[in-house]
Chain A
Amino acid sequence: MDADEIQTLMQRAATLESNAAAARTAGEEAAADGYFHSALEVAVQAVNRSAAEGSLQVRLNALRATARLSLDCGQVVEARRLIAEASDLDGFREQHEQWAELRDSSAWPDGWLIAAVRRDPPDSAALDELVERYWKTLFGRCLLLTANYEKANDLAQDAWCRVLRARRSLKPGGNFPAYITMIATNLWRDTQRSAKRAGPMAEHRMSSLDAPVVSEEGEMIVLADGLPDLKARESDEHKLLAMDIDRALGQLEPRWRDVLVARFITGESAAEIGRRYGRTEQTVTGWIREAIGQMKVHLEEPAQVAGGET
């Protein structure tokens, strides 16, 4: 009778967990949170019962389910306590693989890390893991936007600060890397808007956005001196090429840079970019072609060095 009761509680918890997952998939975060917390309450009851009445196997299963639900709810300390409790029990070693994901935060899905970060106070270890997981990608994107190592570092850090200030509204079921990239891109766009207003060429630059596309050339760039094999090992040529690309990006009208990164790195379609700018797909296709043309021009220009041209 007691084992049945624990089993019933576990099944209820599993049903609630399943409802939570469905709600999260549907983007209903508040409902998902509600289900997860209800599931956790039921699972805790099962753990408490199993302490007095369950078999070792039943107790380990209840502890594992409860630890997992604790992580779904962002309760990292509680999850770790449950894991530690389980690890003291006989039979834990036999279930080692089943516990591995729970024990190793580097294996946690984003949802668990985000749930832990949005709590008060946020779990530092979970935040460290989340930052580490996406820092390089974020930095790479920021470097393409800013074309400057220091500015890219600042932008990536600012994006994280912005995310953390609004961390309570983070959605564990959302696409976190896309979200933080969007935050960084928006921050960069805001800076560019301000810079554009201040710039003496602002009006001229704006008018060029609607100008007819003059270049119908293809995307291929041919450099007289040839390009190093991009797949080859690191070389001085690679360093120079990286500098040339940064210089060319830096010379590009910020909006051109934005559309190139959006199209080729983020993978947005011309239609998607157009929706963001309130322009047609055809207009954006023209922008992309123009941006490619300008990149080609800037890449073929000799680099300016202090004291003269090379």
Chain B
Amino acid sequence: MSNEISVEQLLRWRAARAEAEAPPAPRAARLLELARPWWETWPERFQRVVERLGSIQIAYGHAMAEPVEARRSGYPVPTLIVRLREELETSVCVLYLGVRDGRLRLRFQLEKAITHTPETLEATFVAQGFTRPLFSAPAVLSVDNEYRVDCELPEKLARDWKELKVTDRMPFRLILRSDKDGP
């Protein structure tokens, strides 16, 4: 029995032991099912939600009245919050948007406060006028009730959105879902 050991040795030993006691690896079929986007799992619901999203009317008057240089944030983005038993029409205010090296970095705030603000929402980006989603990414709650998205963009979008600025009218609408919500 030794009585002296470094933290590094202990951690390495613990990691090796954890590897040895790891549960069986999940099967590919299970992982693919889990990774399947919600709009493929529940296509009818997606269709209904996207129709409702398309019908949200936002008053852009205020945002448009301000000169571009004076605007801190951009146009409101029509948004539908989808929870287990309710859907809430609202908009989000984009506070920051940057596309660099194929990644989207976005910060936004909900215009309407919601009860039990989830720590993570799945943000599904839907192009204006289209019924197919562009992509989805987790939006993580940050300071001051801001949500933050940091994700890799499909190549075409990375090119198309490269010049997009926070003060531009956003080429998408959002569906925000709590991660755990089913259809």
Our verdict on whether A and B bind, yes or no, reads yes
Report whether A228 and B1 are in contact in the complex, using a CB–CB cutoff of 8 Å: yes
Q: Does A52 contact B (CB under 8 A)?
A: no
Q: What does the 1/0 interface line of A124-159 toward B look like (CB < 8 Å)?
A: 110110011001110111011000000011000100
Give chain A residues whose Cβ lies under 8 Å from the Cβ of B22: 135-136, 139-140
**Contact mask for chain A residues 237-263; partner B; CB cutoff 8 A; 1 contact, 0 none:** 010001001100100000000001100
Q: Is the CB of A265 within 8 A of B11?
A: yes
The CA of A136 and the CA of B20, in the complex, are separated in Å by 7
How far apart are A159's CB and chain B's nearest CB, in angstroms?
A: 10
Stretch of B26-34, B46-54, B58-66, B168-176 lying at the A interface: B26-34
Q: Contacts of B140 on A, CB cut-off 8 Å?
A: 190, 193-194
Do the beta carbons of B141 and A219 come within 8 Å of each other? no
| A273 CB within 8 Å of chain B | no
B25 at interface (Cβ–Cβ under 8 A)? yes
**B26-A227 in contact (CB<8A):** no
Contact status B10-A245, CB under 8 Å: yes
Do the beta carbons of A190 and B120 come within 8 Å of each other? yes
B25 touches A219 (CB 8 A): no
A289 to chain B, nearest CB (A): 10
Are A265 and B12 in touch, CB under 8 angstroms? yes
**Chain A CB within 8 A of B3 CB:** yes
Is A220 touching B6 in the complex (CB atoms < 8 A)? Answer: yes
Asked if A292 lies at the interface with its beta carbon under 8 angstroms from chain B, I say yes
Name A168's closest neighbour in chain B (CB-CB). B154
Bound CA span A141–B22, Å: 11
Closest CB of chain B to A51's CB: distance in Å?
A: 34
Interface 0/1 of B110-140, CB less than 8 Å to A: 0000000001100000000000000010101
**Bound Cα distance from A160 to B29, whole angstroms:** 12
Closest B residue, CB atoms, query A218: B6
* A127–B5 touching, CB < 8 Å: no
- B119: nearest chain-A partner, CB-CB: A194
**Contact between B28 and A194 (Cβ–Cβ < 8 Å)?**
no
Q: Looking at chain A, what size class is its interface with the partner chain?
A: 35 or more
Contact partners of A23 in chain B: CB under 8 A = none
CB of B84, distance to nearest CB on chain A (Å): 20
Residues of A within 8 A of B180 (CB): none
Q: Within the assembled complex, what's the spacing in Å between the Cα atoms of A230 and B9?
A: 9
Chain A contact residues: over half helix, strand or loop, or mixed?
helix
Closest to B29 in A: A124
Task: Return chain A residues, CB-CB under 8 Å to B23.
Answer: 139, 153
Shortest distance from the beta carbon of B16 to any chain A beta carbon, whole Å: 7
| Residue contact B2 to A264, C-beta cutoff 8 Å | no
Q: A223–B3 contact, CB under 8 A?
A: yes
Bitwise interface map of A from 105 to 133 toward B, beta carbon under 8 Å scored 1, else 0: 00000000000000000101101100110
Q: Which residues of A contact B11 (CB under 8 A)?
A: 144, 245, 260-261, 264-265
Q: Are B19 and A222 in contact (CB under 8 A)?
A: no
Within 8 Å of chain A (Cβ to Cβ): is B18? yes
A265 cross-chain contacts in B, Cβ below 8 A: 11-12, 15
Whether the pair B18, A144 counts as a contact (CB closer than 8 A) is yes
Interface 1/0s, chain A 185-213, versus B by CB < 8 A? Answer: 00000110110011000000000000000
Are A165 and B7 CB-contacts (below 8 A) given A139-B23, A153-B23?
no
The answer on a CB contact under 8 Å between A128 and B34 is no
A166 CB within 8 Å of chain B:
yes
Asked whether any CB of chain A lies closer than 8 Å to the CB of B69, the reply is no
Task: State the CA gap A293–B80 with chains docked (Å).
Answer: 48
Knowing that A161-B35, A194-B120, A226-B1 touch, tell me 16 more A-B residue pairs with CB under 8 angstroms. Answer: A122-B32, A124-B29, A125-B28, A131-B26, A132-B25, A135-B22, A137-B19, A139-B23, A153-B23, A164-B31, A169-B102, A194-B140, A221-B7, A225-B3, A227-B1, A265-B12
Show 29 A/B contacts (Cβ-Cβ < 8 Å), sorted by A: A122-B28, A124-B28, A124-B32, A131-B27, A132-B25, A135-B26, A136-B19, A137-B19, A139-B23, A140-B16, A143-B15, A144-B11, A144-B14, A164-B31, A164-B35, A165-B35, A190-B138, A197-B141, A219-B8, A220-B6, A221-B5, A221-B6, A224-B3, A227-B4, A229-B1, A230-B9, A246-B14, A260-B11, A264-B7
Query: What residues of chain B have their CB less than 8 Å away from a CB belonging to chain A?
Result: 1-20, 22-23, 25-29, 31-32, 34-35, 37, 102, 119-120, 136, 138, 140-143, 151-152, 154
